[in-house]
Chain A
């Protein structure tokens, strides 16, 4: 039995340090991690390769995370999206639910285990 290839994640965050720390942590946890630093780049990178899960920062410099999530999930075939923020879920009211995202993770709780739990 050959080992299954690791799941592919797209890590979208405009903050280079936060993005690096998250990618490194998740790679260490066994994921393959792609990166994007803006909403536009995130949408473009999906043309090349479809990840199993998109970790999407809410605050992006060009298109905000909610809008990116809407575009990714509007046709019903897109990847699963988890919104990520340094704020709490309750700060956003119904915005998260309305965006089509599958879930929400506060940035300080973003560990390999938490991501694996969302993917199950």
Chain B
């Protein structure tokens, strides 16, 4: 105990009243608020009453304790009674005239409460309350001591005591009333905010709908226009061809050159129009995947023939690696060829000397086939590597080499349609390797194991319509589907249920997909669970890095039934390969 301020004997009910009064005054001297004064006075009076009625009297002592920074008012009430079992004294909050009820109340009123009692040793209760800081009224211990002594000599007229207690009661009631009013006001404010949020959501829905409609219109317009472009371009090409074939007479060397340029320019324009048209079709969901079984070797032979005309630079060798050891692939051969043609044409365009090597390898564990097109060309700076797959962006160095800038975005979309993905590894001045990763068998559903547990997919997306679509795709693929409407709920469900696979959105309330993915990776039991990200966000490089532990990232607009089923199947197959 620190500086003793004052102590009072406790013998009668009048002493209890006096103890309460002194407690309140000392609390006031210490700078406590009126409410805190009342709390302390009440706690002291409860404990003192116990000492008088159960302990046969005793003493209450007030003291200051602790350093300057953390001073507290300490009050010790000790009796010499029979003592009791603390368990019994404080055990429950049951109402009634038990010894304990007053103590339980007192314990709620102060910062610190210590009960020390045993049968035959009396009872000692210590109450303590931290002095208010920064009140500017922190009195010195000695000042308090002398003030307390003055208090002790003062009278304790019962009427004054009652009046004082009445004042305290009125103040408490007034404070309570203020709080109720404040709570009601906060409630109203919250309700208003809620209404605002609801309105905002419906406005957002409306805006999203308008955007969808505008995007559809753009796609329709693009598709219509590109068709209109094709007819005259085809005519220009056919007519130049007639001239170049000397159908109606000889051309001199300059004329032949000019007509050849006309033909080439028209062909370039037609290529651009065709790429645009393909992109517009994929965007509009009008492209179907038509899988057939074919040998990679045959595809390479066909590609070699088709790409001959592009090999105009004798300094560059186009090499196809042997692919005869690979199993047959079940995929849309035309689309695979289209992607590889694009990769190879790009590689040839950006390689001045060296070689362009086309190969394929089986990733048996994941049941995926990986096509690679490797060049020794100018390479791509790291900050551009993901951008080149986004529509309508053109990396600085790209333009002078020709090409439409639409080929790679188209490749990405075609790959996604087939349940695969494209990526690139590159080093400036050293070369680039483009990869097309495809499931070995398009649309193959998860292998159903006899008697084995059903594979379980957790779907985390706040967009109900998307969950609906995905649930059907996944259930048709033989999966059990669990749904969560935001990241936090998804995390809780993942921890509880341990799904085999997670499909999630990025933009979600409460916890976004980036954080959810991070949290899953931190959980040792979920760190290897494949996660497929389905998002309508356009991701920058930084964001893609943040998602590097995802199994795949699929733009929502590219989600097609068969493609997603294939992706889910290959994710589950990868799981089976590395249990």
Number of interface residues of A (CB under 8 A): 14
Contacts of B248 in A (CB 8 A): 24
User: Would A107 and B234 be within 8 Å (CB), given that A24-B247, A86-B227 are in contact?
Assistant: yes
Chain A residues lying within 8 Å of B270, measured Cβ to Cβ, are 108
Q: Which of B229-265 contact A (CB under 8 A)?
A: 230-232, 234-235, 237-239, 241-242, 245, 247-248
- Check if B288 is an interface residue, CB within 8 A of chain A: yes
* Chain A contacts for B245, CB-based, 8 A: 28
For A85-120 the 0/1 string (1 means CB < 8 A from B) is 011001000000000000000011010000000000
Within 8 A of B (CB), among A23-49: 24-25, 28
CB-based contact A87/B237 at 8 Å: no
For B232, list chain A residues within 8 Å (CB): 17
Q: How far is the CB of A10 from chain B (nearest CB, A)?
A: 18
Measured in the bound complex, the distance between the Cα atoms of B231 and A107 in whole Å is 8
Judging by beta carbons under 8 Å apart, are B230 and A86 in contact?
yes
B415-435 CB contact bits vs A (8 Å, 1 = yes)? 000000000000000000000
A-B interface pairs (CB < 8 A), number: 39
Known contacts A21-B242, A25-B242; A15/B231 CB under 8 A? yes
| B61 nearest CB across to chain A (Å) | 96
Complex contacts, B288 vs chain A, CB 8 Å: 90
A63 contacts the other chain (Cβ, under 8 Å)? no
Contact with A along B560-571 (1 / 0, CB 8 A): 000000000000
Bound form: Cα–Cα A15–B270 in Å: 18
Report the separation of the CA atoms of residues A21 and B232 in the bound assembly, to the nearest whole angstrom: 11
Query: Nearest B residue to A90 by beta-carbon distance?
Result: B288
- CB < 8 Å: which of A25, A86, A90, A110 contacts B231? A86
Determine whether the beta carbon of B238 is less than 8 Å from that of A25.
yes
A107 vs B270: C-alpha distance when bound (angstroms): 12
In-complex Cβ contact of B235 among A17, A28, A90 (8 A): A17
Partner of A21, one of B227, B230, B238: B238
Give the one of B235, B247, B288 with max A CB within 10 A.
B235
Residue of B nearest to A22 (CB): B238
Q: Report if A52 contacts B (CB, 8 A).
A: no
Q: How far is the CA of A108 from the CA of B263 in the complex (A)?
A: 13
Closest A residue by C-beta to B245? A28
Query: What CA separation (Å) do A110 and B238 show in the bound complex?
Result: 9
B230 touches A24 (CB 8 A): no
Are A28's CB and B231's CB within 8 A?
no
When the two chains form the complex, which single residue of A18, A24, A90 contacts B234, counting CB atoms closer than 8 Å? A18
Distance in angstroms from A65 CB to nearest chain B CB is: 14
Cα(A25)–Cα(B230), bound, Å: 18
Residues of B within 8 A of A28 (CB): 242, 245, 247
> Which 7 A-B pairs rank lowest in CB-CB distance, beginning with the nearest?
A21-B238, A86-B230, A17-B235, A28-B247, A18-B235, A107-B234, A86-B231
Given contacts A17-B235, A17-B239, 18 further A-B contacts (CB under 8 A): A15-B231, A17-B232, A18-B235, A21-B235, A24-B242, A25-B242, A25-B247, A28-B245, A28-B247, A86-B230, A86-B234, A87-B227, A90-B288, A107-B231, A108-B230, A108-B237, A108-B270, A110-B238
